[in-house]
Chains A and B, each alone.
Chain A
Amino acid sequence: MSTRSVVPFGPQHPVLPEPIHLDLVLEDEKVVEAVPSIGFIHRGLESLVGKKDFNDYTYIAERICGICSFMHGMSYCEAVEHIMNIEIPERAKYLRTIWCELSRLHSHLLWLGLLADGFGFESLFMQSWRLRENILDMVEASTGGRLISSVNKIGGQLKDVPNDMIRGFVAKLKDMEKDIREMTDTFLNDYTVNSRLRGVGILTKQQALDLGAVGPFMRASGIALDTRKRGYAAYSNIELEPITSDIGDCYARTYVRIQEIFQSIDIIRQAAEKIPDGEVAVPVKGFPSGEYFMRVEQPRGEAIYYVKANGTKFLDRFRVRTPTFANLPGMLETLKGCQLADVPMMILTIDPCISCTER
């Protein structure tokens, strides 16, 4: 007869990069239930729309999250641009695409490192962060910030990137591809890594649909949905196919993210080939009035932004549904029946970002 016990997990925990708290109900070593609680780092960023001019709010939207910073700022701008019927220059759209994919690259490399750290493979963690540093250098060289880019503005971009710099990025990424493949092959083929990931935390396709999972977590369960296919920024001119796997375990999620790294490199290459010359911003006059739902594919999955404007310089409402929030029910489902030692893998493979979930 097994005894039940409750083990508190987080909000500060050696393998958790993010402050989420779980009460794990255990039967011996087996998890029978997980009760989450979040809300440790609520910052009230959404309510600042009432205090800051809608143009200046772009900088606050960027600070919702330190990893998807560029995408948060861009999505906010695109939402307001839709309300105000602003058509931004083509070049700005391509720049947005390139910066989005650079964000995805460094986010996935960061996540691979955290995953390696999670199962105790320190040198793999360092290798992946070493590679990530090169991406951050590109982001810094083009925007001026390693993570927080501050190049978004309603009506386009604040900075242009010279064409030869973009070509330099493509060449550098091409060189890096070999190193990245060497590193990711370890994730996919190494015996030790496989024994931690394969068959662990399976989420079936039906469960993923029922629980509303998003992003790589959902695609690893065999659902071929990618919000980029909706064609915001310049994605309508880019060829891409959602990367999926049918297995639905931690290994499949790792596989999907690794393939997305190479997909991002390919998208940057395509965008660099197609980017037209010209202006990067159009002047914006007046105040927005109306509402809009903006959906974008962040590294962690689909994020939804709701903007409601009332014709003044302060917005009525700004709301973000982040991918991690959508993935939490799926994660809790995978936790049921797993071993205590696998809990970190389960949490890490949804790539949690609690900071943006709580804003």
Chain B
Amino acid sequence: MNIFSFAKTELKNLFSTPATRAYPLEPRNYPERTRGHVVIDINTCVLCGMCSRKCPADAIKVDRAAGTWSIERFGCVQCGNCVVSCPKKCLSMGQAYTEPDAQKRTDTFTKPADQMKPPVAPAAKPAAAAAAKPQKPAESAAPAAEEKKNA
């Protein structure tokens, strides 16, 4: 039995820098691929709701009427499925993790009003389509709705 079997490790520990980091004083350098949090470019988003349907944690809520896209920060499990499935590619993964908090946090993004489609049009479309099967009345209904809004 060698009583000096740890001498080498001890000496190394004495003269080497710590293996740990003084976080948060010394911030972490994330690798390029780190999936930390979901970032949205709300201007490109068309509020199609695909991300919310694909999310395994049900963390995303999309409200077309109000024009909002919201994410429950601590519900999200950083899987990246929403990023992969977004048809407009407006979602991406940021590197830093969500900061710890005492409460659950929901971040809501609202689409700027000038980018929103006229609120009547989406509501009028299905109604018109259901009421009349032929294409023509539906087409004429849309401009009618548009006019009503302008008036």
Q: How far is the CA of A145 from the CA of B84 in the complex (A)?
A: 16
Interface set, chain B 3-48, CB cutoff 8 A to A: 5, 8-9, 19, 31-35
Q: Are A141 and B56 in touch, CB under 8 angstroms?
A: no
User: B61 interface residue, CB < 8 Å from A?
Assistant: no
User: A52 interface residue, CB < 8 Å from B?
Assistant: yes
User: B128 interface residue, CB < 8 Å from A?
Assistant: no
Q: Are B77 and A159 in touch, CB under 8 angstroms?
A: no
User: B81 interface residue, CB < 8 Å from A?
Assistant: yes
User: B49 interface residue, CB < 8 Å from A?
Assistant: no
Q: Are B33 and A159 in touch, CB under 8 angstroms?
A: yes
From A56, A57, A62, A137, residue with most partner B Cβ within 10 Å = A56
Q: How far is the CA of A137 from the CA of B33 in the complex (A)?
A: 11
B105-123 interface bits toward A, Cβ cutoff 8 Å, 1 = contact, 0 = none? 0000000000000000000
Interface set, chain A 327-341, CB cutoff 8 A to B: none
Q: How far is the CA of A142 from the CA of B35 in the complex (A)?
A: 11
Q: How far is the CA of A53 from the CA of B8 in the complex (A)?
A: 55
Q: Are B9 and A127 in touch, CB under 8 angstroms?
A: yes
In the complex, which residues of chain A have a beta carbon less than 8 angstroms from the beta carbon of B79?
59, 62, 148, 150
| A147 CB to nearest chain B CB (Å) | 11
Q: How far is the CA of A285 from the CA of B23 in the complex (A)?
A: 46
User: A63 interface residue, CB < 8 Å from B?
Assistant: yes
User: B1 interface residue, CB < 8 Å from A?
Assistant: yes
| B21 CB to nearest chain A CB (Å) | 11
A35-76 interface bits toward B, Cβ cutoff 8 Å, 1 = contact, 0 = none? 000000000000000001100110110110000000000000
* Chain B binding surface, main DSSP class: loop
Q: How far is the CA of A298 from the CA of B33 in the complex (A)?
A: 25
In the complex, which residues of chain B have a beta carbon less than 8 angstroms from the beta carbon of A182?
8-9
User: A140 interface residue, CB < 8 Å from B?
Assistant: yes
User: B93 interface residue, CB < 8 Å from A?
Assistant: yes
User: A4 interface residue, CB < 8 Å from B?
Assistant: no
Q: Are B31 and A60 in touch, CB under 8 angstroms?
A: no
A56-B54, A56-B56 as given contacts; A137 in contact with B80, CB under 8 Å: no
From A133, A144, A182, residue with most partner B Cβ within 10 Å = A144
Q: How far is the CA of A355 from the CA of B132 in the complex (A)?
A: 56
In the complex, which residues of chain A have a beta carbon less than 8 angstroms from the beta carbon of B19?
130, 133
Q: How far is the CA of A158 from the CA of B80 in the complex (A)?
A: 10
B123-136 interface bits toward A, Cβ cutoff 8 Å, 1 = contact, 0 = none? 00000000000000
Q: Are A52 and B56 in touch, CB under 8 angstroms?
A: yes
In the complex, which residues of chain B have a beta carbon less than 8 angstroms from the beta carbon of A210?
none
In the complex, which residues of chain A have a beta carbon less than 8 angstroms from the beta carbon of B78?
145, 148, 150
User: A143 interface residue, CB < 8 Å from B?
Assistant: yes
- Which of B9, B35, B54, B81 meets A145, CB within 8 Å? B35
In the complex, which residues of chain A have a beta carbon less than 8 angstroms from the beta carbon of B34?
140, 144-145
Q: How far is the CA of A52 from the CA of B81 in the complex (A)?
A: 13
A59-B56, A186-B5 as given contacts; A150 in contact with B33, CB under 8 Å: no
- Which of B1, B5, B32, B81 meets A59, CB within 8 Å? B81
Q: Are A137 and B31 in touch, CB under 8 angstroms?
A: yes
Q: How far is the CA of A336 from the CA of B74 in the complex (A)?
A: 44
User: A175 interface residue, CB < 8 Å from B?
Assistant: no
- Which of A63, A144, A186 meets B35, CB within 8 Å? A144
Q: Are A150 and B56 in touch, CB under 8 angstroms?
A: no
- Which of B1, B9, B35, B81 meets A56, CB within 8 Å? B81
Q: List 9 A-B contacts (CB under 8 A).
A: A130-B19, A141-B32, A142-B33, A144-B31, A145-B35, A148-B77, A158-B84, A159-B33, A191-B1
Q: Which residues of B contact A (CB under 8 A)?
A: 1, 5, 8-9, 19, 31-35, 54, 56, 77-81, 84, 93
Give me 15 other A-B pairs in contact (C-beta within 8 A), A141-B33, A144-B34, A144-B35 excluded: A56-B56, A59-B56, A59-B79, A63-B77, A137-B31, A140-B33, A140-B34, A143-B33, A144-B31, A145-B34, A145-B35, A150-B35, A150-B80, A158-B80, A182-B8
